[in-house]
Amino acid sequence: MTTPEHNKELVRRLYEQFFVHRDLDAVTELIHERFRQHSPDAPSGRDAYVDHLREAAFAGGSSDIKRILADGDLVAVHHHMRLRDDAGPGLAVVDLWRIEDGRLIEHWDVEQPVPETARVPNGMF
């Protein structure tokens, strides 16, 4: 059985391999064969999801992880994502991952554009 800390590290590795190294082979190794997607813009299945990642708007973009939380087999990541070729303020994203057999097996997400100006001084992160 894996620990929450181990699960957090697995998800961190995914973000590093995808956003920093752009290594989809390494990403594929981290994703379970029976991967299930809940985001309406991406497919289920490991191979279909990795193919989607090649062409997704955030491919070639960046992610700055602000916080990462784990509870058992669930890991939540709150991060600031910027799309490739977009000089705007980016997106505030929360991804939720479920881990099984040491791999990412399930994913949910919510995204919100970061506004140029906000009514509150606290920021989104």
Sites in the chain below the pLDDT cut of 50: none
Q: Which residue has the tokens 């057999």?
A: 101
**Local structure of 114: helix, strand or coil:** coil
Count of beta carbons in the 10 Å neighbourhood of residue 76: 16
**pTM score, two decimals?**
0.94
Three-class SS state of 47: helix
In 47-120, at which residue ranges do the beta strands (DSSP E only) sit?
A: 62-71, 74-82, 91-100, 103-113
pLDDT at 2: 82
> If DSSP codes are grouped into helix, strand and coil, which group holds residue 93?
strand
What confidence score (pLDDT) does residue 1 get? Answer: 63
